[in-house]
Amino acid sequence: EPEVTQTPSHQVTQMGQEVILRCVPISNHLYFYWYRQILGQKVEFLVSFYNNEISEKSEIFDDQFSVERPDGSNFTLKIRSTKLEDSAMYFCASRLNSVISPLHFGNGTRLTVT
Amino acid sequence: DQQVKQNSPSLSVQEGRISILNCDYTNSMFDYFLWYKKYPAEGPTFLISISSIKDKNEDGRFTVFLNKSAKHLSLHIVPSQPGDSAVYFCAASPIQTGANNLFFGTGTRLTVIP
């Protein structure tokens, strides 16, 4: 069964550094998402992406964050200058279309900012 | 803004018995609801969904019930198996507004005792 893949599984970075989290969504899916889960808290929406542009974003997704689909397969989340509070599990997800279809999630990247 | 609430952080059930996981929501624009299961170190895995035009959807051992007037949904697992032990997240989406992101609850950890 096709799946969403994320790399790396764990990323450790120093505060102030830039990180790029990578995702390969399911190939025929059209909508792409990033969510995060801070330890012990709920899964929170960051951003959705469709037709090569951001379709929605949350308050968390400030100008330190950006997303890109540089080619036909990868979908990346960049954090320009990481803060301690950015430490979380970051999940990429994709869905076939926007009308009543579930999101399929990757296994996440654990980002640790020291 | 806890638009989706799972008030029970944990639930323990004997193998073979029914597990009932509950979820409440506050946003009347939500019209598509999903349940996800999450194992440690993995992303959420889609289980079952229901749209607001239905009040019940069944898939094997899993049944989701929706009570729109009470803004409540529940997931029934019958019979419960030890492999069902995981964290279960309720999620909702206001598709009718054109939004395509999901709002998650905080999760309920289900433990099925052999």
* pLDDT tens per residue across all 114 residues of chain A: 779 999 999 999 999 999 999 999 999 899 999 999 998 888 999 999 998 999 999 999 999 999 999 887 899 999 999 999 999 999 999 998 866 788 999 999 999 999
Tally of structural domains, chain B: 1
Rounded to an integer, the average pLDDT of B101-113 is: 94
Could you tell me how many CB contacts below 8 A there are between chain A and chain B? 56
Amino acid type, B77: I
Q: Which of B43, B100, B104 comes nearest A107 by C-beta?
A: B43
CB < 8 Å to B43, chain A: 4, 6, 91, 93, 105-108
CB < 8 Å to B104, chain A: 35, 42-45
N-to-C CA span, chain B = 37
Which tens digit of pLDDT belongs to each residue from B4-26? 999 999 999 999 999 999 999 99
Tally of structural domains, chain A: 1
- DSSP, res B111: E
Task: Give the CATH number for residue B34.
Answer: 2.60.40.10
Residue indicated by tokens 């952080």: B9
Domain that holds residue B44: 4-113
B99 touches chain A (CB under 8 A): yes
Domain that holds residue A52: 5-113
Task: Give the CATH number for residue A27.
Answer: 2.60.40.10
Q: Which two tokens stand for residue B75?
A: 């997931």
Do B89 and A43 lie within an 8 Å CB cutoff?
A: yes
The string of DSSP codes covering B41-101 is TS--EEEEEEETT-SEEEETTEEEEEETTTTEEEEEESS--GGG-EEEEEEEE-GGGT---
